[in-house]
A and B are shown apart, each in its own frame.
Chain A
């Protein structure tokens, strides 16, 4: 083989100082599989389980039990046999730490044995490079400790086969290059690009975080993204809004009771978040369990006002938060993002009007043209102040005609909602009350999504981070207000899911009754599960999942991975 001589950091490595953590040898394996994977896991602290990782842990469990002894190399006598399980060794010179499944051998030489799930692959070299490299790292660390080591061994659990891996010069060189490469990217702070249309990605547990095809597509506009990131999220929110309800963990489930009577149980594995409205009681063990599982709990007043949320120790991705803050101090970046968000919102508002227009007596053409003009205007503004003005006039146009999307009164079961213009605090009519409530739900959904992706929801680009407002959540939700919230409101009214009798009015303000609220939450969640075709990527995806993809794309933009943040618009 014609090996290109490539630049290498000269060995020996500088000693790792106390400040830098030792890298697990597994990372060298990941690096050899895909440098971006190692970066995501090691530098950004991302983790996601897949069948492979779950099953891998399971298959490993037996070898994880420590057993046998590994005497120091200089204490070994001729005739001593070594058989030691689950031994952790590190090398400061290599900057690596490895947990070795099994070490066998004697005074003459030792062999690290690494357990792999699955069957032995039938390829010329006996095993794939990432696995060969990983066992070679173990060999190198053993040598650092004074043992002699000429080969490693891979044991494939499923086919019960061993594959010898000679630690020859070629493999050692490959391994050193991988170690150098890993140290380089860890120090460099620049995420390696995704693999190109690689068969490795569908098997990669981080594919939904990495977005390899989407990033490639947005960088080069060439390949059609595969729907790898779309995998349906199986967990869904649990809302508790009933008066005097209590939530307690019981085994692997949450039990919700009212007046000491069990009314519902939810399997913890199926819960994506717990939403509590009003005076709901939650036990401490429940809070602990939810935090340990990374399930956020959001707290709302009885009327739905979002008061805050509880989360475990939070996301490890400091790099992302740093990039988020840095960009927020840069005015041109703020303006650029803000323009895109507002333009997309106007676009989506216009689409909603066009699609749901119910009034035959009025042709919406002028209105749609005006909105188109507002949308174009966004691109030309050169301050946030001006942008606010454009947004305001577009919103006035839009809400000025919102009642024409509501099925006329007199239709069976549907009574009329009077609605003239948007008013908020307090909402003065049922439609405004529904809109406000829907925005609260959507803000929460964005808040939780952004937190889970590693953002700080409170620092944004368009909204000012004042008065405890989750500015980034409000920013990101702009284009989705018409698509998710307004649309859920129209559907709930037009389908007769909420009726005028579901509202309680007092002192000039109107609020949803508990029962009406329950039905409206269901309508909202149905909208969140609705699947749309992504205009850029061509695949179908639920809004629920889309929010996460958009949040990740924003992170890719802020970290310099893609040239622009692509807003979501529908046709």
Chain B
């Protein structure tokens, strides 16, 4: 049940669908930049997200890729980030 880090990038042809995908993605990861998210997910979550995305998009017009960066715990993903820092999602309780 170990989690992996993913980069999810999408190209959605229709603005309405784009918004739905964006809203869904916010529930699964952190917005990185235009149409790109960073997610930290178990295999189960991964399967869930794919199922949900698949239900939204139009297979002939849209395109989504999910890239696996490897285990989220302990492994530092090899990412070059210019301009801003890339920080992998940590798992911590939220205390406000």
In the complex, are the beta carbons of A51 and B96 less than 8 A apart?
A: no
B26 → chain A, closest Cβ, in Å? Answer: 6
Find the A residue at minimum CB distance from B22.
A251
CB atoms of B96 and A240 under 8 A apart: yes
Q: Judging by beta carbons under 8 Å apart, are A58 and B94 in contact?
A: no
Stretch touching chain A among B8-16, B48-56, B60-68, B78-86: B48-56
Count contacts on A: residues with CB < 8 A to the other chain.
36
Give the tally of cross-chain contacts (CB within 8 A).
84
Question: If the complex has contacts A252-B24, A252-B26, are A51 and B2 also in contact, measured as CB distance less than 8 A?
Answer: no
Q: Report which residue of B3, B24, B27, B43 has the largest number of chain A beta carbons within 10 angstroms of its beta carbon.
A: B27
Interface pair B51/A525, CB less than 8 Å apart: no
Contact check, B28 vs A49: say whether CB atoms are below 8 A apart. Answer: no
SS class of chain A's interface: helix, strand, loop or mixed? Answer: mixed
Rounded to whole angstroms, the CA-CA distance of A446 and B80 in the bound complex is 43
Distance in angstroms between the alpha carbons of A239 and B54 in the assembled complex? 34
The reply on B42 being an interface residue by CB < 8 A is: yes
Count chain A CB atoms within 10 A of each CB in B24, B48, B94 and give the residue with the most: B94
Interface residue? B92 (CB, 8 A): yes
The answer to whether B93 and A522 have CB atoms under 8 Å apart is yes
Report whether A252 and B96 are in contact in the complex, using a CB–CB cutoff of 8 Å.
Answer: no
Is the pair B96, A54 in contact by a Cβ cutoff of 8 Å?
A: no
Query: Of residues 222 to 236 in A, which have CB atoms within 8 Å of B's CB atoms?
Result: 231-232, 234, 236
Complexed CA–CA distance, A566 and B26 (Å): 42
Residue in A234, A263, A522 whose Cβ sees the most chain B Cβ within 10 Å: A234
Q: Tell me if B93 and A237 are in contact (CB < 8 A).
A: yes
A270: chain B residues within 8 A (beta carbon)? 91
Do B28 and A269 touch across chains, with their CB atoms under 8 A apart?
yes
Alpha-carbon separation in the docked complex, A234 to B46 (Å): 13
B33 within 8 A of A: no
**B window 12-46: CB within 8 A of A:** 23-24, 26-29, 42-46
Can you list 30 contacts pairing A with B, beta carbon distance less than 8 Å?
A49-B44, A51-B43, A51-B47, A54-B47, A54-B48, A58-B47, A58-B51, A58-B54, A61-B51, A232-B3, A236-B91, A236-B93, A236-B94, A238-B94, A239-B94, A239-B95, A241-B96, A251-B23, A252-B23, A252-B26, A253-B27, A256-B94, A256-B96, A258-B96, A263-B96, A267-B26, A267-B27, A267-B29, A521-B93, A525-B92
The interface of chain A, by Cβ under 8 A from chain B, is: 49-51, 54-55, 57-58, 61, 231-232, 234, 236-242, 245, 251-253, 256, 258, 263-270, 518, 521-522, 525
